[in-house]
Structure 1
Amino acid sequence: MHAIEERGRITARVSQPVAEKLQEAADLTGATVNQFLVQAALEKAEKIIDRERAIRLTLEDAAMLINLLENPSKPNSALLGAFERFKDKVENGAFRSNSGSGT
């Protein structure tokens, strides 16, 4: 038995010239207007999502980032102090987990 896939519905009202242009494009691709619209909208959605999720750097930005990774600056006093506080907590058992201890 095949699982039934839930489907959503999207509707749009357009002017007659727009409807005719969409129909012509759909006919040229051998699709129904609905198939054409869904495919076109999906392609556009994927481009927008990809564009918004990507981090784009100029060549100068990329060079600066690589330089910072390859040549990190020395830790300042605030970072050194935070590390010492963290180390003290670890040594005093503040980060021990009770999971799996049986209690």
Structure 2
Amino acid sequence: MGSTVAKQDRIGARVPHEVYETLCRAAELTGATVNQFLVQAALKEAQEVLEREAVIRLTPRDWNWLLDLLESPPEPNAKLKAAMMRHHQSKREDADSAFNWEP
């Protein structure tokens, strides 16, 4: 049976000595190396950033408002109708130009 080795990449950073000392103290208190501490802290922050960007959080009031809009949407106003017309027109123009291609 062959074993697979996970690919690893290196990350380096230059920081002021005071920052390094703070990181060393924090890593020591958690029982991790500075490298482990940095990777764990950066990964945790990265996951939080990605979640913030991927998840939409609504209050119960806003959730109910959204559901009401989905169940009973308002009639399109003049600006929305104009935007839909422009969209349909651009789709027709794109479809027409696809057949008029010349090398």
TM-score by length of 1: 0.64
Which structure 2 segments of 5+ residues have no match?
Answer: 76-80, 82-103
The alpha carbon displacement at 1:58 in A equals 3.9
Match of 1:12 in 2: 13
Q: Quick one: which amino acid aligns to residue 34 of structure 2?
A: V
Q: Quick one: which amino acid aligns to residue 34 of structure 1?
A: N
Larger Rg: 1
Q: Distance in 1 between matches of 2:8 and 2:52?
A: 27
Q: How does 1:16-55 map to 2 (within 5 A)?
A: 16-55=17-56
Match of 1:82 in 2: none
Deviations 1:45-73 (A, max 9, x none): 00000011011224443122111334456
Which structure 1 segments of 5+ residues have no match?
Answer: 79-103
Deviations 1:14-37 (A, max 9, x none): 111111000000000000000000
Percent sequence identity is 51
Q: Quick one: which amino acid aligns to residue 66 of structure 1?
A: L
Q: Of Structure 1 and Structure 2, which has the larger fraction of its residues in helix?
A: 2
Q: Distance in 1 between matches of 2:5 and 2:34?
A: 24
Q: How does 1:56-75 map to 2 (within 5 A)?
A: 56-71=57-72
The alpha carbon displacement at 1:7 in A equals 0.6
TM-score by length of 2: 0.64
Aligned length: 76
